[in-house]
Amino acid sequence: ELKVEQNPLFLSMQEGKNYTIYCNYSTTSDRLYWYRQDPGKSLESLFVLLSNGAVKQEGRLMASLDTKARLSTLHITAAVHDLSATYFCAVVRDDKIIFGKGTRLHILP
Amino acid sequence: DGGITQSPKYLFRKEGQNVTLSCEQNLNHDAMYWYRQDPGQGLRLIYYSQIVNDFQKGDIAEGYSVSREKKESFPLTVTSAQKNPTAFYLCASSIPTGVFGTDTQYFGPGTRLTVL
């Protein structure tokens, strides 16, 4: 059974700091997504990671995938208040897509 | 502008009623999806469709039904058989390469359904 765990589930951090969100999954997967959700809003796609060692960066966010460890990370560099949101990873295997519970990120000015 | 629209934004339903949530896209995407989100949780897949006139059940299809008569439209009906329908419903679309595709999923703004 495919399971996805994110940690931490809640993170409060100061502007300018670096931090990493982790997404662990239980079985082999075909691809992994990262999404952002603002309160009461829809989801915005951030990254699609397809293969082992894949690394993608957009602004202060960088996502990576280690399929052998069944781990993806979302790294935040020099956080700014605008990055406050909930971040979800989602793992696809065959015809199943399983979302993590999300990491609620609160960046203090 | 290309995108996905969902209506209504808020919907209130009495117990025992069926309601239909609309999802329309003008992105020319073949694949469309319906998800449910409960407070503090990730999304769960209800149904998906990779092509017109074809759709498959997701993980929580019981109490829901869909149709895909047109490429642009993928309405979701929440039936009275769905025992706990209060949730935030999100529609998405993508260019599929395999199920769910290797490309970005684009999400609509969502419909918040409340059962009275």
Share of chain B above pLDDT 70, in %: 91
- Give how far Cα B62 sits from Cα of B65, B77, B84, Å: 8, 11, 11
Locate B111 and state its tokens. 């419909």
Q: Tell me if A90 and B42 make a contact (CB, 8 A cut-off).
A: yes
Please list the residues that pair with A60 across neighbouring strands.
Answer: none
Using a CB–CB cut-off of 8 Å, the residues of A that contact B are 4, 30-31, 33, 41-45, 48, 50, 88, 90, 92, 94-102
Domain range summary for chain A, segments of one domain joined by +: 4-108
Greatest C-alpha distance within chain A: 42
Residues in B closer than 8 angstroms to A96, CB to CB, are: 45, 59
Domain A4-108, architecture per CATH: Sandwich (2.60)
C-alpha distances out from residue A54 to A33, A45, B65, B116, Å: 12, 17, 37, 47
- The nearest alpha carbon in chain A to B91 belongs to A42
User: Quick check: B99 pLDDT over 60?
Assistant: no
Please report the pLDDT score of residue A25 as a whole number. 96
Using 70 as the pLDDT threshold, list the residues of chain A that sit under it: none
Residue B97 is predicted with a pLDDT of: 55
Buried residues in B28-65 as b, exposed as e (16+ CB within 10 A): ebebbbbbbbeeeebbbbbbbbbeeeebeebeebeebb
Long-range contacts of B43-49 (CB under 8 A, 24+ apart): B43/A43, B43/A88, B43/A90, B43/A99, B43/B90, B44/A99, B45/A96, B45/A97, B46/B76, B46/B89, B47/B76, B48/B99, B48/B100, B49/B74
CB pairs under 8 A between A and B: 49
